[in-house]
């Protein structure tokens, strides 16, 4: 029982760091290729993939495809390292680049933004969550710069 509790505590403590490493690797490879996973269900198709610095989810109506899991691997020519925010819900669509007949739902989140959010959780166990005051100022400055950068690309 003691070993199980210790191993669970270790896994929960360092899982944000592991997720950050996986996201950083995914970000690096997303700069040159689109890759991910796709599940085709009986009514909807769900895709989660890395594309040009972003982690993206797309859900559309299945158009007679065979159900099952598939992988996505396509070479990409884009080179936008910092990714993009995107949110499209088929119920709220007015003018988008997506075809309305498949009822798309799209969520795209930049990987650098996710890495910034996970940074305190990943570094926290290493410093026992005792951050000096200057680190809070640095974090606020980074979040402010990212908000300004992504805010100008939304509108």
> pLDDT tier at 137 (50, 70, 90 boundaries)?
very high
Stronger pLDDT, 36 or 67, i.e. the higher one? 36
Binned at pLDDT 50, 70 and 90, residue 141 comes out as very high
SS (H, E, C) 124-146: HHHHCCCCCHHHHHHHHHHHHHH
Burial degree of 51 (CB within 10 A; 0-12, 13-18, 19+): buried
- Is a pLDDT exceeding 60 seen at residue 37? yes
Dist CA 14 CA 10 (whole Å) = 6
pLDDT of residue 127: 83
Query: What residue spans define the domains of the chain?
Result: 12-154
């Amino acid at each position: 029982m003691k070993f199980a509790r210790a191993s669970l505590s270790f896994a929960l403590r360092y899982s944000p760091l592991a997720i950050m490493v996986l996201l950083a690797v995914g970000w690096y490879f997303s700069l040159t290729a689109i890759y991910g996973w796709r599940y085709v269900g009986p009514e909807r198709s769900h895709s989660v993939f890395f594309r040009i610095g972003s982690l993206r989810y797309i859900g559309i109506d299945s158009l007679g495809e065979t159900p099952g899991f598939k992988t996505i691997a396509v070479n990409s020519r884009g080179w936008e390292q910092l990714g993009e925010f995107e949110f499209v819900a088929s119920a709220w669509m007015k003018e988008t680049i997506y075809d309305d007949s498949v009822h798309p739902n799209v969520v795209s989140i930049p990987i650098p933004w996710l890495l910034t959010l996970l940074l305190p959780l990943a570094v926290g166990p290493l410093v026992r969550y005792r951050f000096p005051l200057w680190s809070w100022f640095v974090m606020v400055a980074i979040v402010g710069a990212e908000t300004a950068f992504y805010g100008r690309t939304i509108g």
